Amino acid sequence: MTTPRPLDAHAAAILTLCCMIWGVGLSMVKIANIGLPPVFNAGLRSLLSVSILLTWVWWRGLDIRRPRTLWPSVFIGLAFSFEFVTLYLGLTETSAARATIFLHGAPFVAAAGEHFLVPGHRLSGVRLLGLLAAFAGMVLALADSSGGGGAGALRGDLLCLAGGICWGLITVGVKTTALRTAPPETSLIAQLLVSVPVLFAWSYLFETRGIGPLTPAVLGAFAYTVLFVVVFGYSIWFWMMGRYSAASLHAFTFLTPPFGALAGVLILGERIGVLTIAGLVLVAAGIWLVNRPK
């Protein structure tokens, strides 16, 4: 592996673009869910995404197999599956702005995992302050009864938080197992491959809603989640994790919640309450404090 290095201007520009893509992606999921059952939507996204990535790997002649990665791959694949079961279901009941707050509980699960499992990543001082700030932000968002909040959104909020916890577990799994030294394609393809049967099985067993009208908006939103969020966004993220400081990368993700909230307002016409805005600010600040480079 190359020695991780601090972010340069080129990397910062790419990360900003990724954060914007991921933030907008939550609004695209809500639009795609209009025509597709949510978990079926997630499974179809995984199937098409992994097909594209496997074709890319085959065309480039890459060998992404590595020893001792089978069980870590199964673990992160299951976590990935349940991340998107909970996130896609949660987005049917809460706003994109609120979803992005609770989904970004992920960096704090990752920070806690690193505290116990990765030497030199102890939680103390400013990092603890960041955790407290983010927790306060989530409490404020839960207390907001305006802009799509209140009792009707509580279930959706908690489902998105569960998705964030799964996302954090994926990060811990990648950074503390043999996947850490594997090519970025190995981790991403493992997650997608495991998720395809899990998500389709969940949809078959528990979803009763059929496929609705496949309007241009639904198809366009679904294509966005496949091509931009997964194939481009995730691939770039895992590629950069092998070349740049992980702390620097995770600190930069503080931009995703504001982009997600702005996309909800501009694309979906969502209203954001004052407490939710305060929650967004605290969560973004917490992400940066927990993961800021030393």
The tokens describing 104, both together, are: 């970004």
Give the global pTM. Answer: 0.87
Confidence at residue 144, expressed as pLDDT on a 0 to 100 scale: 76
Confidence at residue 1, expressed as pLDDT on a 0 to 100 scale: 45
Confidence at residue 294, expressed as pLDDT on a 0 to 100 scale: 61
Confidence at residue 293, expressed as pLDDT on a 0 to 100 scale: 63
Confidence at residue 118, expressed as pLDDT on a 0 to 100 scale: 67
96 vs 23: CA distance, rounded Å: 9
Confidence at residue 101, expressed as pLDDT on a 0 to 100 scale: 87
pLDDT tens digit at each of 294 positions of the chain: 445 566 778 888 888 899 899 999 999 999 999 999 999 999 999 999 999 999 988 888 878 888 888 899 999 999 999 999 999 999 999 988 889 888 887 777 777 777 677 666 666 777 778 878 888 888 888 777 655 544 557 889 899 999 999 988 888 888 788 888 888 788 889 999 999 999 999 999 999 999 999 999 999 999 999 999 988 888 887 778 667 766 667 777 788 889 999 999 999 998 888 888 898 898 888 888 876 766
